[in-house]
Chains A and B, each alone.
Chain A
Amino acid sequence: MFINLQAAYWMIAILLILMIIFMFLTLSIKVSKKISAKKEEKCLADFHSYLHYLQVQLDNQAILRPPVKTLSPFEKKVLQNTLLPWVERLKGVHREKLLTLCEDIGLNQYNKKRLQSPWSMVRLDAAYHLGILRDHGATSQLISMLHRSNFDSSVYIIARSIAQTSENPEEIKHLIQYLVNNGKQHLHLIADISKESSLDIRPVYVDFLYETHPKLNKIGLIGLQDQVDQELPEIVQSFVQSEDKETKILALQLRMAAMDLTEKDIHHYLQSPDWEIRNLFADWIGYAGLVQYTELLKERMQESHWIVARTSAKSLARLGEQGFEILCEIAAGLHGEQGKEPAEEYIHEKLKQTIHGFSQVNDITEYNHNVFIYQKYFGKNHELTKAL
């Protein structure tokens, strides 16, 4: 009994000590955070006139000058936290001017030094900032850092910085290959990272179409979607025939973006045995405003796959009076029972949308036309007309 009581006392004492330690740790973290925030606030107040000078003179032809005094690492950090958000939000001459200023202040050197830190978080933070600073001189260091790093999600931060700083499209190509070969699955994210580059990397995407690795083919297809001003490489057609559905859809999306499809093609794909392909085209017709294909959408509304029927109705609602009239025909049952439900739903949706969006005379005219068409099929006494 005595032993048990003593053990309990010991336990209580240990727990109390642990509680005190944790309380002390939590408090010290809170206090240090407050001190740091106050220090930062004071530092920002000291730079108030200087930051005002930068904002006022940003548009002036003269260069922006760094602060006169030698800055401590803390002051550099505070300035960095203010200036880099500006760099990220601007483009053109003003961004270039700010980047020159950041270099003159010594932010590039400051971050390059931090790249050597023993702490991985500090290194990652430095890599991130060097990317924003578009420090071309840091690319090789960043590439080594990428190769040394554990292949976790932080590689995307380093990869983005490499894309932002690189001056050589071959480096971007190797970067993408490295990410894909090491099992990174998020192809859209990888393509998005490569687009951070200020270089023309269309040739890289085209090269990827000829690679044997299907993931590189997909990145090529994704990357080219923003660059459809030039003729598409012939190989894109072969991806349209691909067994892999994702590749096939990406190739078709690329051809849609480039408007590289004939009427025959559109007929063909809207009859595809694969409902996802039919759905893709039904959606695209509405999105791209291709009024000439309203009749094809009418056919799709008769089909049994409800997703395709709904998408076709949604697209018809986007195709002006012509599309709206077809929706009314279907909802009134002129073409049978199939598709009546989604047609009614999108008629209501369209009328609601136009009534809320009365911002211009055009909207009022469109609304009146739609109501007129609606009444042609359902009469003036129909409950929706009354509600309107």
Chain B
Amino acid sequence: MTETRMNSSIIQSFKHFLHYYQASNLPCGLIIAHAALDQKGIHSLITHLEKEEPATAFQVNYDTEHHILGLLLDDCDLGYTHFYALHVKDFLEEKDRLMGEMVVGNFPENSDHAEQMLSRMINEMMIEQTNKQEIRVFDNETIQKTDKKSVLIVDHDNSIVHLLTNYLQRKGYIVHAATDGKHGLEQYQNLLPDLVITEINLSGIGGYQFINQIKNIDKQTKGHSEIMVLTNKQLEEDIKRTFEYGAAEYITKPFSLIELEARIKRLVEVTE
């Protein structure tokens, strides 16, 4: 992909600081937002942030040409940077000054090159201009999109779908979701994902039938997807039956995300 470099005043302004953090190997957080601000607005924002998080040292710069607000936070991790961005978002929304998305990143958690990361954050924001007023964590993608593994989650439980979608996306997977067996099968036929994570208690089509249908589709398409069952059913009989139907893994709820990820990795890597 050819990258058009955006010459933003934020990069010029933060350059020396970023070199310093990089050279001293000290952590720093970066927040950029597509916002319409004037000098008064910037001043109010600074006052607001100093009041809300007085212990945090930060630098602010506003690129008037591209309408980008940049914040550089001293000595903080990604979690805190993201949390701090919530303050910024609250302020901008309250003043009706937020024009698009916000991006947060952290050196060294997101990238081991701070200046490059800032430059990419600004580029991405300007190229993929969106009206969605949401906070996105910078994804230092080293894997090409085509090399990413795809996962289809089929579960009627929205909590599980949300938790897994966010978790697996952060781990570099392309995630699709369905809340019933019928929709799950439609998705499966269209996507042919590398892995299916499914509940056994499904509406529309039951879990076992769903697995069976997947196997049939695989036969027709000569494809192969691994199936992982993530279920409330804890009986040994269910576990045995699930494996007989061709599932490769069986995890009961409540489950550990770390264990789940390890099992996903094993399945996807084994089938590679």
Using a CB–CB cutoff of 8 Å, the interface residues on chain A facing chain B are 48-50, 52-53, 55-65, 68, 82, 85-86, 88-95, 287, 353, 356-360
Contacts and interface: CB of A to CB of B under 8 A. Distances in A.
Nearest to B215: A359
A57 B162 CA distance: 13
Given A53-B86, A68-B86, A86 B159 contact: yes
B259 A92 contact: yes
B131 to A, nearest CB: 15
Contacts of B167: 55, 58-59
A49 B94 CA distance: 14
Contacts of B166: 52, 55-56, 58
B60 interface: no
B77 A62 contact: yes
B86 A56 contact: no
Given A48-B134, A55-B166, A287-B237, 6 more contacts: A56-B166, A82-B159, A89-B157, A89-B253, A93-B256, A94-B258
26 contacts: A48-B134, A52-B135, A52-B166, A55-B162, A55-B163, A55-B167, A56-B166, A57-B83, A58-B167, A59-B170, A61-B77, A61-B79, A65-B80, A85-B159, A89-B160, A89-B163, A89-B253, A90-B254, A90-B256, A94-B258, A356-B212, A357-B245, A358-B215, A358-B219, A359-B246, A360-B246
A64 B86 CA distance: 13
B78 interface: yes
A89 B162 CA distance: 12
Contact of A49 (B135, B163, B253): B135
B34 interface: no
A60 B78 contact: yes
Please report whether the interface of chain A is mostly helix, strand, loop or mixed according to DSSP. Answer: helix
A64 B258 CA distance: 18
Main secondary structure of the interface of B (DSSP, over half): helix
A82 B259 CA distance: 23
Interface in B59-107: 77-80, 82-83, 86-87, 89-90
Nearest to B257: A94
A360 B215 CA distance: 10
Contacts of A49: 86, 89, 134-135
B79 A91 contact: no
A56 B258 contact: no
B20 interface: no
B256 A64 contact: no
Interface of B: 52, 77-80, 82-83, 86-87, 89-90, 134-135, 137, 157, 159-160, 162-163, 166-167, 170, 212, 215, 219, 236-237, 244-246, 253-259
Contact of B80 (A55, A62, A82, A86): A62
A338 B219 CA distance: 41
Contacts of B257: 58-59, 90, 92, 94
B170 A56 contact: yes
B82 A53 contact: yes
Nearest to A53: B82
Contacts of A86: 159, 163
Nearest to A57: B79
A287 B237 CA distance: 8
Contacts of A63: 79
Nearest to A58: B167
- Most-contacted residue by chain A among B134, B253, B257, B258 (CB, 10 A): B257
B77 A68 contact: no
Contact of A62 (B79, B135, B170, B259): B79
A258 B219 CA distance: 41
Nearest to B219: A358
Nearest to B245: A357
Most buried by A among B52, B86, B259: B86
